[in-house]
Amino acid sequence: MDVESLFAEQYERVARLIGRVIRDPGRAEELAVEVFLKYARSSLPSGSNVEGWLFRTAARMALDELRAQARRRRYEPLLRLAGKVATPEEIHNGFQEQARVRAVLGAISLREAELLVLRSEGVSYEELASALTLNPASVGTLLSRAQQAFRKEYVKRYGTESY
Amino acid sequence: MEPKAIDLFVERSMAALTAEPGWTTDTARALQRYQAVAAARRRRRVWVVCGAAAACVFVLAFPGTRVFAERCVAACVAETVAVGQRLGVTAVPAFTLTDASGQTVRLADFRGKVVLLNFWATWCPPCKTEIPWFVEFQSKYEAAGLVVLGISMDEEGWAAVRPFMEKNPVNYRMMAGNDAVAREFGGVASLPSTFLIDRSGRVVWSHSGIADRAELDGRLRAMLTDGSRR
């Protein structure tokens, strides 16, 4: 399938996956385009799971961006001293839970975060195994470990679970 | 917390993660952006390739820059050889030349001997200073397993070397060299250049410029003694 057809078919899903993770729609669309540019440069062997590759790359790029944002946020106290306004999370309590989830995803290991993001996109165990080059038999165990790591990090940061 | 409960907790947390409300993607505009960026990157690649080609042409077109580039490459190769020597992973050089009588000389023929290899030229005064030392080493250490080889780098080849040798006969084999042989020894940046090659064919010592006679003598004795012990 040529890149243009693939773009028409998968762009929206790729962009929304990234948008869920990083929230900024403009940046999500930029990164989604970058995913397809990466695909055009890649030399995937014929018969590869292209969709899985796109989702994995999108999840990886979104999580990398999330971590970069977290690093930048470390300097925010200094910016606030310089008169920066509060973040939308601080103004709108409705976004608080999303901000927490993003912070936790940015803190746990990349592979675990990838598993959780892709699984929450409805990617099946078989597709996860193919996209992340995992043994299909171990996907369940790895996913369970990722969930435990998520919960542990969440409790460590915020004390209690909101649910 | 029970595994099932953790599963539910993470599922709910991840479900809270939604894209910006009211955001709709614009696939057509994104495709345009994709095509524009891809075209710009293709153009940039073409410019980089053209730039590299132009730089190569520029370097090779003018004698000054060409010589400079050759010196840079020779220096890099020499440095690589020197590092290799320090690490003990020096590549074994090889060459095939003809001597004054037209006989073929291969470095590989002297495996098992200690070889003193000297690059020189008839127009080089320090080279002429060293030649009597090598004559002396050849006669003194031949029985212990030393072979001295001289490689002239005169551009005129035998036309320059033969008259010189008639006036200054030597007791070791002399050959007319070329750039390929010099490259085998890291480019030979200056003359004279001397290399000591051990019995297994590895370059174990090299020196650019006139050597220290006593030091060279000491190294030869050490190498020949070391070899005789084995």
Q: Which residue has the higher pLDDT, A78 or B46?
A: B46
CB pairs under 8 A between A and B: 88
The string of pLDDT tens digits covering residues A99-132 is 889 889 989 998 899 999 999 888 888 888 877 7
Which of A133, A62, A43, A38 has its CA nearest to residue B37? A38
The model carries a pTM of: 0.52
Can you give the residue ranges of every domain in chain A? 3-158
Subunit contact B27:A11, Cβ cutoff 8 A? yes
| CB-CB neighbors (< 8 A) of A108 in chain B | none
Q: Which residue has the higher pLDDT, B146 or B84?
A: B146
| CB-CB neighbors (< 8 A) of A142 in chain B | none
Closest partner CB to A12 (pick from B14, B15, B25): B25
Q: In this structure, what token pair is assigned to residue A79?
A: 């910016």
Could you tell me the residue range of the domain that residue B202 belongs to?
90-229
Residue B143 domain-assigned?
yes
Residue B32 domain-assigned?
no
Tell me: cis bond preceding B192? Omega within 30 of 0 counts.
yes
The ipTM value here is: 0.74
**Domains identified in chain B, total number:** 1
Which of B90, B140, B89, B137 has its CA nearest to residue B117? B137
Q: How buried is A53 (Cβ within 10 angstroms: 0-12 exposed, 13-18 middle, 19+ buried)?
A: middle
Q: A9 at the B interface (CB within 8 A)?
A: no
Q: What is the pLDDT of residue A83?
A: 46
Residue B24 domain-assigned?
no
Give the C-alpha distances (Å, rounded to integers) separating B179 from B85, B98, B189, B201: 21, 15, 11, 20
Residue B27 domain-assigned?
no
The string of pLDDT tens digits covering residues A54-103 is 998 999 999 999 888 877 776 665 555 544 445 555 555 557 788 889 88
Give the mean pLDDT of B29-45: 90
Residue B201 domain-assigned?
yes
Indicate which of A21, A24, A33, A36 best probes the interface with B, i.e. most B CBs within 10 Å of its own CB: A33
Q: A23 at the B interface (CB within 8 A)?
A: yes
The string of pLDDT tens digits covering residues B152-172 is 988 788 888 888 988 888 999
The string of pLDDT tens digits covering residues B51-84 is 999 888 888 888 888 888 888 888 887 777 677 6
Residue B78 domain-assigned?
no
* Domain CATH number, residue B148: 3.40.30.10
Distance CA B130, CA B148 (A): 12
Q: In this structure, what token pair is assigned to residue B120?
A: 């020189």
Contact yes or no for B119/B192 (Cβ under 8 A): yes
Residue B103 domain-assigned?
yes
Distance CA B179, CA B77 (A): 13
Subunit contact B7:A40, Cβ cutoff 8 A? no
Give contacts of A 105-124 with B, CB under 8 A: 116-117, 119-120
Least Cα separation, residue A161 to chain B (angstroms):
8
Q: pLDDT band for position B230 (50/70/90)? A: very low
Contact yes or no for A116/B12 (Cβ under 8 A): no
The string of pLDDT tens digits covering residues A34-47 is 999 998 888 766 66
Q: What is the pLDDT of residue A5?
A: 87
